Structure 1
């Protein structure tokens, strides 16, 4: 569990309803949000229903998410549903400052997020979001939940449920539940098929490539790309890197995923063997110290390393610093480390999520489904929280399927329906060959 480095008693309360870089950026943010909303018809449809039905009326909702254009559409949807909403950043480098300004000024949603904020400010913003005394939490990485459980425990009786967006956050929450310390039920939005099969795979795949190329302007074709982790995010990035002409190597600790990568046509190696071969490295595991000091020392001169997992702990930056004799920022999102062996290693975006640090995150079309899950999960848990134990739950399959149906409908795609004969066959055992 990530350690909280600041205490609630050390934090000064915000005297205004937001803390953003520059409120005058709101006009630009408004245009970008309008552009994103055009590609989010499912969430827009949910927002229309929420305005009519007000399923979240009177509820207080604190959200700790990447403050991007798509998140702005989600926040507006929740507000349309009647919720009192506040949002803070779930990563110091993922905020789009013009969008944060738009949320604060035009949507009148208290927003606490500045791209590049330091660690202390990051947790000040989380504390500011918690000052709403939430009934529902909406998290991306579980920092909001963990802060609530560690430094704001007096607020826990007010909270009856939450949602979690990411694999990393679900891992943390399940660990809390297993240890008996999770104090309220949480819906693992990440585990919905309309989230992980599309957001994690296609969203992460494209946006990670986008972030790497924006940061470096390097050619993927002919490069050796090492992908650490072959979960849904790793699969998506590996697929896109290969599609751009790279030779892709997968590293894994799970034998089933390693076998799947082999069957998908990738080379699979331990990181110790992949390190001397790679030109570009990307971690997508949700674990700590995936690329360590010994791996950095073994890399080629000029190798590039980045992370597209939630936290920057996947790269052992302290271990790298211990064998560094010189460092400089050579491009906006590229820091060059000269090592004791004379070779140079380049770290992108401080090891933070490269798809958000150097680019704009996932395309709106996939976040449409992810945030449809978030909005329906908030509605579902508000209506059913008294039936839950203090555990991590999935959104019901019927809601998952409804989101998929609505997405296909928005794409003008029709599918077949079962005939009465087919329904009977699938529900019986008498009919054979």
Structure 2
């Protein structure tokens, strides 16, 4: 038996053990990281005409994996120490942990989390754990997991079901293993995209009898929740974090303004000056992408369906077009809509040679990637997350991350911005869990503005910023409390890119 087959068989048997350790590695990951025991396995294979006993393989691999996870976790702690100064929401003197613990603890909260597994999310998990919650984690994107983070969380006792480069089947398998565990019942859901919520509704609807609420941070996940609410099928309260000011303004706008350039540089090594780029959608994500590319000297076009956002794009100096008007001339196509079939096969056929196509919106729905998997087209893997799709006449397009989120799959995400989002999510979970009965019905709610402002205030000391305080006379004149909230709950600031 070849080594890879041995490792594959050992991996199948090791799954239960790895679940208990908290993370899972499949045969390719095992093959690349098992250098420490490779020689012994090869020796076993050569000296025996029979397949090594299944149990023997599992026992051979298990100790090494245990040491490997510990070693990776130790290395990660050094990275986290460097990162913590950019996480004021969870690591400053006025930490969320300290502030919330002084008020209440969530000692009985059991949280299911489905998000991108980056360094910041490890800190979020540990913060929720410090507040008394029991957490289980699965990834929201098949490429967004950092394996070292999964290993470090597992080493610290958190059950994690995620690894970088999952297949579609792996993705749903991980969610199911995260949810379906004997003797464990979640009472809160933290979701990013709505897949975890969807899976529980589909497979385990009885779980909602004990679930107190859902916190959702993505536009697509929120859209799904509103659909459930409209149909009368939403059976627990849900908190719409995506439309909170701290999420819209900082995560969607400022984060994407930086990560779009990082993702494109890492995958293509391209120069932006003079390139023609079309950005589909001028919401907060689109605004951030357009501002970054314009600053780098790119010629930027915008497509929009909303006349208000379209007018903003025009006022910010971008030319508003229909996608089919510029598709033959642009060098880069970026989708930022949260919709489906924004870039269709017809448009892909009309793109010029070497056009780069990527998605900053949601999941893999915006670009019709399925239409490219046909016999007449050839796929060529150039590097990790970069594919050339080649037409019969030799034309090729450069598809990044197979149409999935570029910044989650191919770049790092600024930790400071994620600290804002993670703090908002933690407060939303605590608010729903501790809310008295009757405060929230089976509907979708926005985060109270007071909490938005509190999250922002936790991050101001990073800049040595000093807030001006209202006098009693000024507060009375404006009809406000001196300590806020300073905006009504319906307020949602418009993200205007900085020129």
Is contact 1:306–1:347 with CA below 8 Å preserved after alignment?
yes
- Relative to structure 1, the CA distance from residue 241 to residue 414 in structure 2 (aligned partners, 3 Å threshold; closer, same or farther) is same
What is residue 4 of structure 1 aligned with on the other side?
Answer: none
- Residues 318-339 of structure 1: per-residue CA shift (max 9 Å, x gap): 2233484322112222111112
What is residue 414 of structure 2 aligned with on the other side?
Answer: 363
CA distance in 2: counterparts of 1:310 and 1:331, whole angstroms: 22
- Offset of residue 277 of structure 1: 2.0
What is residue 96 of structure 1 aligned with on the other side?
Answer: 146
CA distance in 2: counterparts of 1:321 and 1:339, whole angstroms: 11
Is contact 1:323–1:340 with CA below 8 Å preserved after alignment?
no
CA distance in 2: counterparts of 1:319 and 1:292, whole angstroms: 8
What is residue 449 of structure 2 aligned with on the other side?
Answer: 397
TM-score normalised according to structure 2 size? 0.80
What is residue 306 of structure 2 aligned with on the other side?
Answer: 254
What is residue 165 of structure 2 aligned with on the other side?
Answer: 116
What is residue 328 of structure 1 aligned with on the other side?
Answer: 380
Structure 1 gap ranges (5+):
1-11, 429-433
Is contact 2:328–2:350 with CA below 8 Å preserved after alignment?
yes
CA distance in 2: counterparts of 1:53 and 1:426, whole angstroms: 30
What is residue 60 of structure 2 aligned with on the other side?
Answer: none
Structure 2 gap ranges (5+):
1-13, 26-67, 481-499
Matches within 5 A, 1:13-412: 14=16, 16-17=19-20, 18-21=22-25, 23=69, 24-44=71-91, 45-50=95-100, 55-105=105-155, 107-130=156-179, 131=181, 132-322=184-374, 324-360=376-412, 362-384=413-435, 386=437, 387-412=439-464
SS in 2 for 1:128: helix
**Which has the bigger relative contact order, CA under 8 A and spacing at least 6?**
1
CA distance in 2: counterparts of 1:108 and 1:93, whole angstroms: 23
- Offset of residue 251 of structure 1: 1.0
Is contact 2:215–2:428 with CA below 8 Å preserved after alignment?
yes
- Offset of residue 300 of structure 1: 1.1
Is contact 2:110–2:135 with CA below 8 Å preserved after alignment?
yes
CA distance in 2: counterparts of 1:289 and 1:391, whole angstroms: 29
Question: Could you tell which deviates more after superposition, 127-136 or 211-220?
Answer: 127-136
Matches within 5 A, 1:411-430: 411-427=463-479
TM-score normalised according to structure 1 size? 0.92
CA distance in 1: counterparts of 2:160 and 2:146, whole angstroms: 12
Q: Report the RMSD for the aligned CA atoms in angstroms.
A: 1.9
CA distance in 2: counterparts of 1:316 and 1:90, whole angstroms: 20
- Relative to structure 1, the CA distance from residue 324 to residue 366 in structure 2 (aligned partners, 3 Å threshold; closer, same or farther) is farther
CA distance in 1: counterparts of 2:436 and 2:119, whole angstroms: 29
- Residues 252-308 of structure 1: per-residue CA shift (max 9 Å, x gap): 111221111111110111111121121011111111111111111111111000111
Question: Could you tell which deviates more after superposition, 289-298 or 18-27?
Answer: 18-27
- Residues 389-411 of structure 1: per-residue CA shift (max 9 Å, x gap): 11111111111111112211332
CA distance in 1: counterparts of 2:389 and 2:463, whole angstroms: 47
Q: Structure 1 stretches (4+) deviating beyond 6 angstroms? A: none
Is contact 2:15–2:24 with CA below 8 Å preserved after alignment?
no
CA distance in 1: counterparts of 2:436 and 2:137, whole angstroms: 22
How many pairs does the alignment contain?
415
- Relative to structure 1, the CA distance from residue 385 to residue 250 in structure 2 (aligned partners, 3 Å threshold; closer, same or farther) is farther
- Offset of residue 426 of structure 1: 1.9
